[in-house]
Amino acid sequence: MRFYSVIILAIFFWSSASATDTLEVQINLRSIQNNSIACTIKFPTLKKGKLRVVFPTYVPGSFNEIYPGNLIQNLVGIIDSNHVVSPVKTNLNSFEFENPNGINTIKYNAKLSWKEDISKHGIFPQLGTTLKDENYFLLNFGAILPFIEGKEKLPIKITIEKEAVYNGFSPLFKISSVTDIEIYFAKNYLQLIDNPILFSTKAEIVFRAGSTRFHCLSNAYGNLSEQAILKTLKPVCEGVVKFCKTLSVKDYYFFILLVDSGEILESANEENYGAVQHSASSVMVLKNYSDPYKIQSEIQQTASHELFHLFEPLNLKTDATSKLNVKAKLPTEHLWLFEGVTEYFSLLMQWREDLITQAEFIQEMRNKISLMQFFEPFSLTEKSSESILTGNETYYRNFYYKGCIAAMMLDLRLLELSQGQLNLQELLLRFKKSMNENYVVKDEELISELIKISSFNELHEFFSKHISGTEPFDFNKYLGLVGWAYEPLKEDTAKLYIDASFRYEKGSKNVYVTNINIDQLGLEEGDVLLKINRKKVYKDNVEELMEKVSSINSGKNVMFSVLRKGKEVKLSGKPLIVNKSQRNVIKVEKRPTPEKRFYRNTYRSGQLNTGKPYRMLN
């Protein structure tokens, strides 16, 4: 009965709002001519003032400015069905009708962003529109639909004409669907541009994790089976739900599009690929690698990061982030939190849930240390405030690098101060619990609030030096807590049999060889490592075994056993002798002290010590 009640209430709400206080949008996907689609918007006639039609400069999930107004052609106002009025384009995203009396309809054509020069509109592929492989049509409303100034809060009915073979998938409420028409409903303009639709000729993959039902639409089925995508996504979703306790959405959609090089005009730049997170969906546009394992890894990493944007404590409302302004972005000091902590938690969860190995987790952190060093000196709060300014767009990348490392160091510092009773995950959960639902903290007071909740005044020094300030981290001070040792530069000579990645699959417990750069043995992508010199390979010993056979002092012949296409194959070969120069090395102590072992286990498991209450502020 509850399901039917929801439907009845939604229909009642729609019908009660469908008279003079509603916008009606019509989009024609059946006739795409000259790379553009025809759009019509009907709205209540303005009683006075100018009529301003404004396309968004910012949309949910984006930090950069966009200019969809540059994709618009032949925009006109209609009076009494036949009188056409032309507007004046006042800036890149705005059109204005001087005398709007009687205008209740606008019509125009919107170019599909994927096939237009990105330098002219700034819309990354995951925020844009395209017809893909004749089987998918990605529709992001922020790339094609404006708002009528003064009517942004009105409900919107969206009628979409499409070919009968397509079905639409979206978190938006679908009012009706017939052979070639689908009708959707949005409560207001912000909800509309926060919920893309993917039209597809294919069926969706559906599964449940916790109380959330997940939906996936992807063109990766030709590269990966539906079962492979399910095996990739479901453990990620289960891990995120476990980490976050619960998610705030009942249904969540993954839209995954793999693209070949040159498929998106002017988008060869790696930074133009990736994902955008919305309130109940994420759109991924990823490179179509020939190696299916690499595609799976990209999907896993991306899905994990995007889902962690749903972690309630990372959706903290500050006076700079509580409202989206589609015309201008307010500066915030805390992108290190919103992006850096999100990235850190996504990797930490994968390690805790055995979706990546300890070696992979450490390698990710090493890479981020190396990348963040290109930006130093870098104040996370200062550069966050400045990153919205033109010319500072590259700052944003470092919130994934240094922001992630800062989150890790803060996590370890909290464990040390609390003697294993408080970590960053728990601190943010307590912070969220302490706030009323609609409480908005001042942006400049967020750090002080976090310190107050933690009860550790010592954190003032950490934030002052490393978050607001530019003092480099003493990595051994923090990593030493869990028995990890840091070396900024390590040079030695070693035997090199293979330069590749080893990917652990939780379900099968197999260790796969992938991303092969150098091979002296005859290994192939997708081989399963079984044994190295008769010692069985596990996720936790593969790096140690490789290190032993790579030692320049090792005189043993090397034999690798792999599983290839269902058969065991034994491989051997002569190594290369190489001089290795490694930056930002992190080594794991093999025999840590009991205290280090305690902190290492606490950090790895996330299970906090509850033996003693942590001290409160005086």
Strand (E) or helix (H) holding 97: strand 94-97
Alpha-carbon span 130 to 116, nearest angstrom: 10
277-298 tens-digit pLDDT: 999 999 999 988 888 888 899 9
Q: What is the mean pLDDT of residues 476-500?
A: 91
Using DSSP's 3-state secondary structure scheme, residue 245 falls into coil
Instruction: Choose among 320, 468, 361, 482: nearest CA to 411.
Output: 482
Query: How many other C-beta atoms can be found within 10 angstroms of the C-beta atom of residue 60?
Result: 18
Q: Is the peptide bond before 377 cis (omega within 30 degrees of 0)?
A: yes
Alpha-carbon span 573 to 215, nearest angstrom: 46
- The whole-number pLDDT of residue 617 equals 38
Is residue 318 in a domain?
Answer: yes
Burial category of 122 from C-beta neighbours within 10 Å (exposed 0-12, middle 13-18, buried 19 and up) = middle
Q: What is the mean pLDDT of residues 475-486?
A: 97
| Residues 579 and 477 grouped into a single domain | no
Query: 510-519 and 498-505: which strand pairing?
Result: antiparallel
| Residues 114 and 153 grouped into a single domain | yes
Question: To 5 degrees, how large is the angle CA 336–CA 240–CA 365?
Answer: 45
312-363 tens-digit pLDDT: 777 766 655 555 566 666 778 888 888 999 999 999 999 999 999 999 999 9
Alpha-carbon span 236 to 318, nearest angstrom: 29
Residue 158's DSSP bridge partners are 25, 184
**What distances in angstroms separate CA 323 from CA 190, 209, 327, 508, one per listed residue?**
10, 29, 12, 45
Is residue 579 in a domain?
Answer: yes
- The whole-number pLDDT of residue 434 equals 83
**What distances in angstroms separate CA 58 from CA 265, 502, 603, one per listed residue?**
22, 40, 38
Alpha-carbon span 34 to 562, nearest angstrom: 53
Question: To 5 degrees, how large is the angle CA 429–CA 310–CA 436?
Answer: 45
| Residues 275 and 354 grouped into a single domain | no
Portion of the chain with pLDDT greater than 70, in percent: 89
* In the predicted structure, residue 111 carries a pLDDT above the cut 90: yes
| Residues 23 and 52 grouped into a single domain | yes
Burial category of 105 from C-beta neighbours within 10 Å (exposed 0-12, middle 13-18, buried 19 and up) = middle
**Which residue carries 């590269």 as its tokens?**
223
- SS3 assignment for 42-94: ECCCCCCCCEEEECCCCCCCCCCCCCHHHHEEEEEEEECCCEEECCEEEECCE
Contact 247, 210 (CB under 8 A): yes
**What distances in angstroms separate CA 322 from CA 246, 326, 389, one per listed residue?**
22, 13, 20
Q: Which of 228, 259, 292 is the last residue of a domain?
A: 292
Q: What is the mean pLDDT of residues 110-117?
A: 92
598-618 tens-digit pLDDT: 999 999 999 998 765 444 433
| Residues 117 and 139 grouped into a single domain | yes
Alpha-carbon span 435 to 523, nearest angstrom: 55
Q: What is the mean pLDDT of residues 499-515?
A: 85
363-376 tens-digit pLDDT: 999 999 999 999 99
Q: What is the mean pLDDT of residues 192-202?
A: 95
Q: How many domains does the chain have?
A: 4
Q: What is the mean pLDDT of residues 28-54?
A: 90
Res. 44 pLDDT band, cuts 50 70 90: confident
Is residue 10 in a domain?
Answer: no
Contact 466, 405 (CB under 8 A): no
Q: Which amino acid is at 272?
A: N
Question: To 5 degrees, how large is the angle CA 73–CA 74–CA 76?
Answer: 130
Query: Could you tell me how far CA 516 lies from the centroid of its own chain?
Result: 27
4-14 tens-digit pLDDT: 333 334 444 44
* Six token digits for residue 86: 């032309």
Polymer length in residues for the chain: 618
| Residues 583 and 616 grouped into a single domain | no
* In the predicted structure, residue 234 carries a pLDDT above the cut 60: yes
Contact 583, 370 (CB under 8 A): yes
Is residue 5 in a domain?
Answer: no
Return left, alpha or beta for 42; rule: phi > 0 is left, psi -120 to 50 is alpha, else beta.
Answer: beta
Handedness of CA 368, 371, 376, 382 (dihedral sign): negative
- The whole-number pLDDT of residue 1 equals 37
Is residue 250 in a domain?
Answer: yes
The DSSP line for 178-222 is: -SSEEEEEESSHHHHHT--EEEESSPPEEEEETTEEEEEEESGGG
Pick from 114-128, 244-258, 314-328, 424-438: least confident: 314-328
| Residues 353 and 329 grouped into a single domain | yes
Q: Which amino acid is at 202?
A: K
What CATH number is attached to the domain comprising 537? 2.30.42.10
Res. 180 pLDDT band, cuts 50 70 90: very high
| Residues 134 and 223 grouped into a single domain | no
DSSP state of 581: E
Q: Which of 175, 200, 225 is the last residue of a domain?
A: 200
Instruction: Choose among 250, 170, 171: nearest CA to 210.
Output: 250
**Which residue carries 């553009």 as its tokens?**
36
Q: Which of 200, 228, 254 is the last residue of a domain?
A: 200
Is residue 253 in a domain?
Answer: yes
Res. 471 pLDDT band, cuts 50 70 90: very high
Alpha-carbon span 551 to 569, nearest angstrom: 24
* Six token digits for residue 374: 């290109």
Is residue 298 in a domain?
Answer: no
Instruction: Choose among 499, 563, 558: nearest CA to 527.
Output: 563
- The whole-number pLDDT of residue 612 equals 57
- The whole-number pLDDT of residue 555 equals 62
55-95 tens-digit pLDDT: 999 888 777 889 999 999 999 999 877 789 999 999 999 99
Instruction: Choose among 437, 408, 449: nearest CA to 425.
Output: 408
| Residues 163 and 210 grouped into a single domain | no
* In the predicted structure, residue 552 carries a pLDDT above the cut 80: no
Handedness of CA 389, 393, 395, 401 (dihedral sign): positive
Q: What is the mean pLDDT of residues 40-63?
A: 87
| Residues 363 and 453 grouped into a single domain | yes
* In the predicted structure, residue 439 carries a pLDDT above the cut 70: no
Burial of 422-446, coded b for 16+ CB within 10 Å and e otherwise, reads bbbbbbbbbbeeebeeeeebebeeb
What CATH number is attached to the domain comprising 278? 3.30.2010
Alpha-carbon span 431 to 450, nearest angstrom: 7
120-152 tens-digit pLDDT: 998 999 999 988 878 899 999 999 999 999 898
Alpha-carbon span 514 to 511, nearest angstrom: 10
* Six token digits for residue 71: 């994709």
What CATH number is attached to the domain comprising 38? 2.60.40.3650
Alpha-carbon span 579 to 227, nearest angstrom: 43
Residue 583's DSSP bridge partners are 489
- The whole-number pLDDT of residue 81 equals 76
- The whole-number pLDDT of residue 367 equals 96
| Residues 264 and 331 grouped into a single domain | no
Instruction: Give the chain's end-to-end CA distance (angstroms, integer).
Output: 53
Give the range of the structural domain holding residue 579, as residue numbers without chain letter: 487-588
Res. 407 pLDDT band, cuts 50 70 90: very high
Res. 453 pLDDT band, cuts 50 70 90: very high
Return left, alpha or beta for 356; rule: phi > 0 is left, psi -120 to 50 is alpha, else beta.
Answer: beta
**Which residue carries 């003064």 as its tokens?**
150
The mean pLDDT of the chain is: 87
Report the range out of 30-34, 262-266, 572-576, 599-603 with the highest average pLDDT.
Answer: 599-603
Query: Could you tell me how far CA 45 lies from the centroid of its own chain?
Result: 40
Contacts of residue 610, defined as CB under 8 A and 6 or more positions apart, other chains included, come to 421
Whole-structure pTM value: 0.90
| Residues 458 and 501 grouped into a single domain | no
Contact 171, 251 (CB under 8 A): yes
Is residue 1 in a domain?
Answer: no
